[in-house]
Amino acid sequence: MKQYYFTSESVTEGHPDKLCDTISDSILDECIKQDPNARVAVETFASKNKITLAGQITFHGEVDYEKIVRQTIGNIGYGDANIDIDPKTCQIDINLTQQSQDIAMGVDVGGAGDQGIMFGYASDETENYMPYAISMAHKLAKRLTEVRKEKIIPYLRPDGKTQVTVEYENDKPKRMQTILISTQHEIKIEQEQLKKDIIEKVIKQVVPKNMIDEKTNFYINPTGRFVIGGPLGDTGLTGRKIIVDTYGGYACHGGGAFSGKDPSKVDRSGAYMIRHIAKNIVANGYAKKCEIQVSYAIGMEEPLSICVNTFGTGNKTEEELVNLIKEKFDLTPAGIIKYLNLNQPIYSQTTNYGHFGKENLPWEKIIKI
């Protein structure tokens, strides 16, 4: 009997890094809405009561960047510079230039926007073909936001984190060993009340009963207090939650972030495409789990390499699966963009609670291979 524990984390949309991801993707969506071929690589930095935008944007249109920043902060639920950030009074510094001509000359002819390696992964251990631990961490983080916005727990603030440790037996999720939730709250709330509400109104509403037992550990705000949050409690930066955005550490990662990048950047579009392929290899019954790596060179269309690993669960050889991928899918940047219809303003809906496992996104569609 094989037994082990695996841990994954997620964060709420009010986490300072996710605030920055959301701003960057909101700007990307607005640019693509006006110009489907927009070239966007925008980074957001948040600290104290200040937001800084930096990066490169080339498109045909006009965007009120400051308006998007303030609307995004307000929509998340921030509003107090003394404990997180105020969308009405925060300082906004905009430092944007156009895409380098050296990069554009390679992308304009259909080449990749940068070099890099990307990984896609899928497993049959959940209905959405995601690892169980990251799937549950996302559900808890999303529920944490729901109970705040719907005032089920009215004293919560936007910043928050979740983490779950799952006990596996023979590579199957057996039970929850530990559930950890840290959430920003108003100063007047006592720890015991917070713990009771989070367990009853968040955890028990999300985690299946058969996955919790008398030995499951619950940790709610382990320091005992979480009043100061958001960019006042910790700086935020676009692209710092790459493991939260993907597979919770269960699969390899090439290191490239997603948010704020248009689909000519294979860091994003390539990772979306090979998630789609890995998911369909599993969904079509070729393997119980599958990880795919691809690599690209800036300005070149075809990937430099494709590697498939089914961890001994496949009923085809990995060489056969590589040949199948080459036969069935166009992995050039232009081919990926066309196949997944990526020149549309869909990116804000990817930002929070994972870029994978959401059935409404085009790379999550199950097809017959």
How confident is the model over 190-227, as pLDDT tens digits?
Answer: 999 999 999 999 999 999 999 999 999 999 999 999 99
- For the chain, percent of residues with pLDDT exceeding 70: 98
Are the beta carbons of 4 and 11 closer than 8 angstroms?
no
In terms of Cα–Cα distance, which of 238, 301, 315 is closest to 28? 238
Q: Give the pLDDT band (50/70/90) at residue 101.
A: confident
One-letter amino acid at 205 equals: Q
Q: To the nearest 10°, the Cα dihedral for 297, 298, 300, 302?
A: 50
Range with the lowest mean pLDDT among 99-108, 141-150, 288-297?
Answer: 99-108
Distance (Å, rounded) from C-alpha 22 to C-alpha 20? Answer: 5
Are the beta carbons of 13 and 145 closer than 8 angstroms?
yes
Going 361 to 130 to 249 to 339, the CA torsion angle's sign is: negative
pLDDT exceeds 90 at position 121: yes
Average pLDDT over residues 22-39: 97
Q: Give the pLDDT band (50/70/90) at residue 111.
A: confident
Per the listing, tokens 């060179």 go with: 297
Average pLDDT over residues 24-50: 97
Radius of gyration of the chain (CA): 21
Q: Give the pLDDT band (50/70/90) at residue 107.
A: confident
What are the tokens at 175? 């039970």
- The β-bridge relationship of strands 305-309 and 289-296 is antiparallel
pLDDT at 361: 97
Average pLDDT over residues 109-125: 89
**Which residues, including other chains, have CB under 8 Å from residue 50's CB and lie 6 or more apart?**
90, 91, 92, 93, 231
Type and span of the H or E element at 20: helix 16-34
Q: To the nearest 10°, the Cα dihedral for 67, 71, 72, 75?
A: 180
pLDDT exceeds 70 at position 335: yes
pLDDT exceeds 70 at position 105: no
Q: Give the pLDDT band (50/70/90) at residue 277.
A: very high
- For the chain, percent of residues with pLDDT exceeding 90: 93
Are the beta carbons of 284 and 369 closer than 8 angstroms?
yes
DSSP character at residue 248: T
Are the beta carbons of 263 and 118 closer than 8 angstroms?
no
In terms of Cα–Cα distance, which of 28, 107, 33, 65 is closest to 350? 28
pLDDT at 275: 98
- Summarised one tens digit per residue, pLDDT across range 240-265 is 999 999 999 999 999 999 999 999 99
Q: In what order do the strands lie in the sheet with 156-169?
A: 3-11, 156-169, 172-185, 217-220
In terms of Cα–Cα distance, which of 341, 282, 277 is closest to 303? 277
In terms of Cα–Cα distance, which of 289, 252, 359, 332 is closest to 123? 289
pLDDT exceeds 80 at position 297: yes
What's the whole-number average pLDDT of the chain? 96
pLDDT at 115: 87
pLDDT exceeds 90 at position 1: no
Q: Which residues does residue 53 pair with via DSSP β-bridges, in sequence order?
A: 44, 94
* pTM for the predicted model, two decimal places: 0.96
pLDDT exceeds 70 at position 186: yes
Distance (Å, rounded) from C-alpha 53 to C-alpha 65? Answer: 9
Distance (Å, rounded) from C-alpha 346 to C-alpha 20? Answer: 17
pLDDT at 355: 98
Q: Give the pLDDT band (50/70/90) at residue 106.
A: low
**Which residues, including other chains, have CB under 8 Å from residue 368's CB and lie 6 or more apart?**
284
